[in-house]
Structure 1
Amino acid sequence: MKLYLDPGHGGSDPGAQGNGLKEKEITLDIAIKIRTILLNDYENVEVKMSRTSDVSKSLDQRTNEANSWGADYYLSIHCNSANGSAQGYEDFIHSSLSDSSAAARYRDILHEEISKINQLKNRGKKKANFHVLRETTMPAALTENGFIDHTNDASLMKEASWRQKTAQGHVNGLARAFNLQRKANDAGNNSGTVYKVIAGSFKTKENAEERVSSLRSKSVESFVYSITISGELWYRVQAGAFSTRENAEKRLEEVKQAGIKEAFIVSEAVSPKPDDPSGYSILGPTFLSPEQMDQYAKTANPNAIKLGNDYFTFGEYYGIRGDVAFAQALHETNFFRFTGVVQSSQNNFCGLGTTGPDQPGASFSTPKEGVLAHIQHLFAYASTKALPDKYPLVDPRFNLVSRGSAPTWTDLNGKWAVPGTDYGQMVLSIYERKINATIQQLEDILQMIKR
């Protein structure tokens, strides 16, 4: 399913304003969260966003881009205003459509799922002649997630937990409407095979990046990652990873139709969890090396800052799983792209103290100090012991934590700065993919040695 996700307004157009909030900031944060959940948890989903930062973009640009891309669904995220006289949630399809249309059927499902958890008054399902509903060639819906100038609604919007719930409601609706399948690890399947579609291997990164650009121009998403085989560095282009060979074959056919006849599928066993009878505890050894952590971050963001050594060092000292903490940082920062509220200059890699657009949270003088604060905050949750004194306490919220209240990563659900019913699972999903990618590299090297 190809979703065009449109956070309303942006740049010189702030949208509705009230109670110290701007619509453009709320919509962007919710949309980014929707994208993160979809890509982390579900198979065969592609997401293109009209904007991922505070930039101006016309309505024509948005709908033209979605139409040219061939999106299956257009979803526009908004907030409302009415001089403080109204409150609640409502959503729209185009006024010309019947109640039995595909757009209406999809919207009905979204409305039901979003209304279940968004804590807002339900204002019902509506129709309007909005540009993004009229000019799109695919089914489209626009959601109005509360009234920014109403005291009650605005108080919810300021809470990161509410924005996470609202995003989850949208995802729940999309998953039902389009019959999306959860990824194997998220569905509790910790054994089996993952099938990766490889669209080329190159000696130079430039050639690999050219292949990615070529594929993307033909609407096939891919990325470059590096592997070392027999002491030589190669750059491999991956165009998808699937839990079923059938889905991988479908993607392989798309790649071949895009002109890459030499594309192929590699299979790998899904890695088991680390040997820990208590499950994914926060306290424990770090399995991945600093180099493996940094390399994985760069598969998604070539410009990612290198923090693997700090997460490894501080993790080992405090007895925290540094590689899972690193995965949490990837989740919080969108692989160190900082596309949310927190800015890269803050060196805040886990959202410490972040409550919304008007409160971006703590700042630290150096990246190393930011990592230290992250590890110390995890220590506060996972242990009741006194903090070891080799390093100064830099976590400003250490003493606000209920000590020992979250011994496992999933115990962080509802407790971390951006809580949710599956926050820990989302972090672990990234971690398990890191493990799988590392095992694949080792298997590639082993196969070359056997030859």
Structure 2
Amino acid sequence: MKLYLDPGHGGSDPGAQGNGLREKDIVLDIALRIRSILVNHYENVEVRMSRTSDISKSLAERTNEANTWNADYFLSIHANAFNGTARGYEDYIHSSLSDSSTTAQYRDHMHAEITKVNQLPNRGKKKANFHVLRETTMPALLTENGFIDNPEDAALMKDSTWRQQVAQGHVNGLANAFNLQRKPNDSVTYKVIAGSFTSRENAEKRVAYLNSRNIESFISTTTVSGETRYRVQAGAFSSRENAEKRLQEVKNAGIEDAFILSDNNSTQDDQGQVQSGYSIVGQTFQSPEQMDQYVKEINPNAIKLGYYYLTFGDYYGIRGDVAFAQAIHETNFFRFTGVVQPSQNNFAGIGATDSDNPGASFATPRDGVLAHIQHLFAYASTEPLPDKYPLVDPRFNLVNRGSATTWTALNGKWAVPGDNYGQLILEIYDRMIQSTIAKLENIREELEES
């Protein structure tokens, strides 16, 4: 597949501006990430970009290049602006095309995957007479990734993790639309992070302490919500099991806020796609307050469910906090922008297929979470269901018991085709962990400075 990738604007044309950001910078960063993921992790993909730096380029030059190159797809990345109050994601194909056209079908894949992960209100699929859609001889799509003049959208744009997630959403859509195949032996590294600090001095103190306990570590830098953080890394492993052993050593040394970060070796540091086969069965690490606080940062009106995910997760031996991340993915941060409605209390999309079949309904939020955990238990275990609570999952007995013991094994089972379903859940979980760690470190540093 030959992709012509077009970061909008550039050079003397900054594009939309707002909240200290310029569209040309944001979209270039996202496009470069798209190219990196595709080239490093997918077979038989060629990517040509209209620009890879801050240069001026006319619209005609862009479409002429794509046409001369005989690209299979033209993808133009943009950000929006209006009056400071508008929010959300939307995408465009040319106004002359029908909803059944090949271009529209490709767009359906793109739209579905991008809106799963971008944390933005979905403004829908649209059509327009834009030059890059009209003058291209191949299917073309223009995506508008949030409103740069809106404070909420801009806060997301400033976060490198969000930009990576948006890039991954575009790649997931391309992979589905063009049936792209991942490269064999696409390896994963599990990093043990023993602290994340805004102060390099505090990070150096942590390294010295770990070294005194015969645990080698070093400092790496990353950006979280536009802020430079100094991470103390205490090892990197190709095996999750070995990483968990090191994690326990670090915690035994008194570092309770250590965590594992899953990172694909070929992507940028601390921004890789999660490929972990992390077990569904296991301990819940996040507290109810931490889970609820994370989701309310994105959706202040989200229902509080952390207590139920911890309680039922612990009882059934299911990782309740990862299940909570799955619920976030299924409901778009409990905004219910898909076919399932809030009144159904169906946080896992159990039985939902389309607007004609929105799936199961549960009497209370508590029952909805219980059904979710029971459904995971059915996939992850062949043991009889413990009988403390009644069976409320209507599809428990339809599951091939024990057929998915890891989150990535849910791909193609819980969601169809769902090639990256488990990976997306784990990416949300990693972001939730990172958010918690950042808050804990900020509190610790405030106490040390007071």
TM-score (norm 2): 0.49
TM-score (norm 1): 0.49
**Larger RCO (CA under 8 A, 6+ residues apart):** 1
